[in-house]
């Protein structure tokens, strides 16, 4: 019996020496995945199956690349080379994908730890579409500003206008109320703005703005003088009704009433004044218009030509029409500033020019 047992032990030892047993080392294999990169030829998926402990590749392993999108999965089977490396190109449409790479299990290393990557192939929004909302907003703002300011009207006005063909409107012009005009304070007591030459459309420098308390005549008037841009400001006025007189050398005095307090409509006003020479030629125009056979000749002929061609014109220099013509030439064409008294003289002569004078 002992001999039989010894013989079996010797046979077992000899078999062990002839073929050593296979020892499985679990948990050492893993898949190393390089960054997934879109290229012209396709999406590159590359990596290596390695032994995590020895830092070396595991050769000839079967590798499965699983591409998932919206719950659907496509599998691609690859084979690693002698160094455990694998490489392939995938043709994928636009979208978001999950790429999972698994190595098949073998007897020595068992199942390898997989690798996973996410890929976004969604086309980016073009830069011009990102700038479109800002461009539309800028166009709307410019359109609103142009509608309010109307710069084309200013460009259309000539620098030196001819004599006016209609009587110019002067006086106080309140600023245009904006969308928040109703939110202004009701107890505003300031008064300010700009003084403009209504004929030349230019600011008047050196004009005097006098404010008189009409309800209390004994109060001392307030004065303000316009600067080079025609601006003036009276910061604080008494409550009540005020009379405003605007004077400037060579211009007709403007007179109007204002009420204080107000809701901001007297802040940023425009006061239009007309030159004395323009008012004189308006009086002359109304006086001689009925004397001409054709009204259009008034805008072509000079006052001297009107005097020659006017029917019934006398050669006496003291007659009303020659005197008025001489006054217009001295006032309008000389360029020297004249006092307002010349307006009354022009009116007196115009009354005698025609039986019915439109002054």
**pTM above threshold 0.85:** no
232 and 290 inside one domain: no
Asked, for residue 24, whether it belongs to a domain, the answer is no
**If you average pLDDT over residues 189-213, what whole number do you get?**
92
CA 277, CA 271: separation in Å to the nearest integer? 18
Asked, for residue 43, whether it belongs to a domain, the answer is yes
35 and 113 inside one domain: yes
Q: What is the DSSP string of 27-69?
A: T-EEEEEPPPEEETTEEEEEEEEEETTTTEE-TT-EEEEEEEE
Of the chain, the percentage scoring pLDDT greater than 70 comes to: 74
108 and 37 inside one domain: yes
Average pLDDT of the residues of the chain: 78
**If you average pLDDT over residues 231-235, what whole number do you get?**
92
**Higher pLDDT residue, 357 or 56?**
56
**If you average pLDDT over residues 260-282, what whole number do you get?**
88
**Higher pLDDT residue, 285 or 218?**
285
- Exposure string (b/e) for 167-176, b if CB count within 10 Å is 16 or more? eeebebeeee
**SS3 call for 316:** coil
CATH code at position 188: 2.60.40.10
Asked, for residue 358, whether it belongs to a domain, the answer is no
Output the pLDDT for position 231: 95
Number of separate domains in the chain: 4
209 pLDDT more than 90: yes
Contact at 8 Å (CB) between 221 and 247?
A: no
Asked, for residue 165, whether it belongs to a domain, the answer is no
- Residue 166 CB coordination number (10 Å): 7
120 pLDDT more than 60: yes
143 and 64 inside one domain: no
Output the pLDDT for position 124: 66
pLDDT in tens, 297-350: 776 677 777 777 765 555 555 677 888 888 888 888 777 778 888 888 888 888
Output the pLDDT for position 179: 53
Q: Who's near 311: CB < 8 A, 6+ residues apart?
A: 291, 293
CA 318, CA 329: separation in Å to the nearest integer? 15
**If you average pLDDT over residues 254-263, what whole number do you get?**
88
- Residue 346 CB coordination number (10 Å): 24
Which residue among 227, 243, 274 closes a domain?
A: 274
Q: How confident is the model at residue 288 (pLDDT cuts 50, 70, 90)?
A: confident
Q: How confident is the model at residue 269 (pLDDT cuts 50, 70, 90)?
A: very high
Asked, for residue 35, whether it belongs to a domain, the answer is yes
Which residue among 250, 274, 298 closes a domain?
A: 274
Output the pLDDT for position 52: 78
Q: How confident is the model at residue 270 (pLDDT cuts 50, 70, 90)?
A: very high
pLDDT in tens, 52-101: 777 788 888 888 889 998 888 888 888 889 888 999 998 888 888 898 88
Range of the domain at 132: 127-156
Short-list 341, 208, 324, CA closest to 273: 208
**If you average pLDDT over residues 200-220, what whole number do you get?**
84
Worst-scoring range by mean pLDDT, 171-185, 204-218, 247-261? 171-185
């Amino acid at each position: 019996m002992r001999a039989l047992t010894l013989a079996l032990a010797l046979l077992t030892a000899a078999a062990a020496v002839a073929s050593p047993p296979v020892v499985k080392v679990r948990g050492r294999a893993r898949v190393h995945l390089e960054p997934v990169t879109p290229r012209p030829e396709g999406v590159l998926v590359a990596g290596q199956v390695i032994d995590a402990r020895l830092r070396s590749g595991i050769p000839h392993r079967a590798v499965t690349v699983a591409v998932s999108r919206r719950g659907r999965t496509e599998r691609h089977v690859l084979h690693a080379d002698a160094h455990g490396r694998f490489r392939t190109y995938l043709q994928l449409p636009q979208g978001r994908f999950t790429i999972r790479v698994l190595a098949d299990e073998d007897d020595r290393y068992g199942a390898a730890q997989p690798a996973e990557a996410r890929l976004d192939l969604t086309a980016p929004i073009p830069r011009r579409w990102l700038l479109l909302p800002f461009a539309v907003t800028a166009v709307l703002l410019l359109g609103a500003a142009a509608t309010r300011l109307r710069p084309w009207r200013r460009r259309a006005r000539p620098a030196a206008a001819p004599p006016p063909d209609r009587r110019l409107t002067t006086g106080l012009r309140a600023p245009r109320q904006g969308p928040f005009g109703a939110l202004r304070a009701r107890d505003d007591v300031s008064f300010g703005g700009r003084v403009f030459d209504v004929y030349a459309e230019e600011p008047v420098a050196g004009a005097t703005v006098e404010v008189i308390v009409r309800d209390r005549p004994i109060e001392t008037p307030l004065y303000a003088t316009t600067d080079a841009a025609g601006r003036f400001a009276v910061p604080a006025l008494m409550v009540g009704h005020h009379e405003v007189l605007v004077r400037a050398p060579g211009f007709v005095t403007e007179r109007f009433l204002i009420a204080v307090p107000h809701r901001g409509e007297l802040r940023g006003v425009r006061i239009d004044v007309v030159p004395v020479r323009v008012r004189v030629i308006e009086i002359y125009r109304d006086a001689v218009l009925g004397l001409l056979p054709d009204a259009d000749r008034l805008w072509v002929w000079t006052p001297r030509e009107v005097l020659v061609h006017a029917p019934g014109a006398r050669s006496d220099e003291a007659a009303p029409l020659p005197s008025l013509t001489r006054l217009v030439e001295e006032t309008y064409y000389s360029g020297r500033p004249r006092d307002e008294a010349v307006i009354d003289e022009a009116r007196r002569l115009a009354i005698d020019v025609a039986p019915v004078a439109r002054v």
